[in-house]
Amino acid sequence: MRAEDNRKITETGPGTPAGDWMRLYWQPAALTEELETERPVVPVRLLGEDLVLFRNDAGELGLIDRRCAHRGADLALGRLEDGGLRCYFHGWLFGTAGNCLDTPAEPEDSQLRAKVRIRSYPVVERNGIVWAYLGDGEPPELPALDCFTAPDAYTFAFKGYLDCNWLQALEVGIDPAHASYLHRFEEDDNTGDSYGKQFRGASLGTDLPMTKILREYGRPEILNARTEYGQRIVALRKLDKDGLDGSSTHVRITHQVFPHGITIPMSATIAITQWHVPIDDFSCYWYAMFTSLDAPVDRATMRAQRLDGITLPDYKPVRNRANNYLFDFHEQRTQTYTGLGKDINVHDQMAVEGQGRIYDRSRERLSRSDRAIITFRRMALKAIDTVAAGGHPDTLLMDTADVESRGPIPLDGIGPTGEWETYWAESIADLRKASPWASDLRAALATGPAGVPGSPVEPDRSQLPDAYGRD
Pairing of strands 230-238, 270-280: unpaired
Rounded to the nearest 10 degrees, the angle between the axes of helix 371-388 and helix 166-173 is 140
Query: In the complex, what is the shortest distance from the CB of residue 88 to ligand FES, in angstroms, rounded to a whole number?
Result: 8
Break the chain down into helix, strand, coil percent, rounded to 5: 25, 25, 45
Burial class (CB in 10 A: 0-12, 13-18, 19+), 192: exposed
**Residues 55-94, mask of contacts with ligand FES (x by CB under 6 A):** -------------x-xxxx-------------x-xxxx--
The CA distances from residue 92 to 40, 60, 157, 446, in Å, are 19, 19, 35, 58
Residue 92, contacted partner among Fe ion, ligand FES, none, CB below 5-8 A by kind: ligand FES
Whichever of 54 and 185 has its CB closer to Fe ion, that residue is: 185
Residue 89, contacted partner among ligand FES, Fe ion, none, CB below 5-8 A by kind: ligand FES
**Residues 142-181, mask of contacts with ligand FES (x by CB under 6 A):** ----------------------------------------
Q: Which residue's CB atom is positioned nearest to Fe ion? A: 348
Query: In the complex, what is the shortest distance from the CB of residue 65 to ligand FES, in angstroms, rounded to a whole number?
Result: 11
Query: In the complex, what is the shortest distance from the CB of residue 62 to Fe ion, in angstroms, rounded to a whole number?
Result: 36
Residue 348, contacted partner among ligand FES, Fe ion, none, CB below 5-8 A by kind: Fe ion
Query: In the complex, what is the shortest distance from the CB of residue 155 to Fe ion, in angstroms, rounded to a whole number?
Result: 22
| Closest to 444 measured CA to CA, from 263, 292, 197, 290 | 263
Residue 102's beta-bridge partner residues?
A: 93
Rounded to the nearest 10 degrees, the angle between the axes of helix 371-388 and helix 3-10 is 80
Whichever of 91 and 140 has its CB closer to ligand FES, that residue is: 91
Quote the CA–CA distance of 305 and 297 in Å, as a whole number.
14
Residue 76, contacted partner among Fe ion, ligand FES, none, CB below 5-8 A by kind: none
* Angle of CA points 174, 28, 259, to nearest 5°: 40
Phi-psi category of residue 341: left, alpha or beta, with phi > 0 → left and psi -120 to 50 → alpha: left
348-379 exposure pattern, b = at least 16 Cβ within 10 A, e = fewer: bbbbbbebeebbebeeeebeebbbbbbbbbbb
Residue 71, contacted partner among Fe ion, ligand FES, none, CB below 5-8 A by kind: ligand FES
Whichever of 87 and 129 has its CB closer to ligand FES, that residue is: 87
Query: In the complex, what is the shortest distance from the CB of residue 94 to ligand FES, in angstroms, rounded to a whole number?
Result: 9
Query: In the complex, what is the shortest distance from the CB of residue 403 to Fe ion, in angstroms, rounded to a whole number?
Result: 29
Site for ligand FES in 272-311 (CB under 6 A): none
Whichever of 73 and 366 has its CB closer to ligand FES, that residue is: 73
Whichever of 53 and 350 has its CB closer to Fe ion, that residue is: 350
Whichever of 24 and 266 has its CB closer to Fe ion, that residue is: 266
E strands, 405-464, in order: 411-416
Give yes or no for residue 458 binding Fe ion (CB under 5 A): no
Query: In the complex, what is the shortest distance from the CB of residue 302 to ligand FES, in angstroms, rounded to a whole number?
Result: 41
Whichever of 89 and 437 has its CB closer to ligand FES, that residue is: 89
Residue 219, contacted partner among Fe ion, ligand FES, none, CB below 5-8 A by kind: none
Backbone angles phi, psi at 208, to 5 degrees: -75, 120
For residue 330, the tally of other CB atoms under 10 A from its CB is 8
Site for Fe ion in 297-356 (CB under 5 A): 348
Query: In the complex, what is the shortest distance from the CB of residue 87 to ligand FES, in angstroms, rounded to a whole number?
Result: 3
Whichever of 94 and 131 has its CB closer to ligand FES, that residue is: 94
Whichever of 45 and 70 has its CB closer to ligand FES, that residue is: 70
Residue 280's beta-bridge partner residues?
A: 283
Count the site residues for Fe ion by CB under 5 A: 1
Whichever of 169 and 277 has its CB closer to Fe ion, that residue is: 169
Q: How far apart are the first and last CA of the chain?
A: 16
E strands, 390-470, in order: 411-416
Asked if residues 74 and 62 have their Cβ atoms less than 8 Å apart, the reply is no
Going by the DSSP 8-state scheme, the letter that residue 192 receives in this structure is G
Site for ligand FES in 89-148 (CB under 6 A): 89-92
Count the site residues for ligand FES by CB under 6 A: 10
Query: In the complex, what is the shortest distance from the CB of residue 319 to Fe ion, in angstroms, rounded to a whole number?
Result: 15
Asked if residues 257 and 229 have their Cβ atoms less than 8 Å apart, the reply is yes
Residue 175's beta-bridge partner residues?
A: none
Contact residues toward Fe ion (CB under 5 A) are 348
Contact residues toward ligand FES (CB under 6 A) are 68, 70-73, 87, 89-92
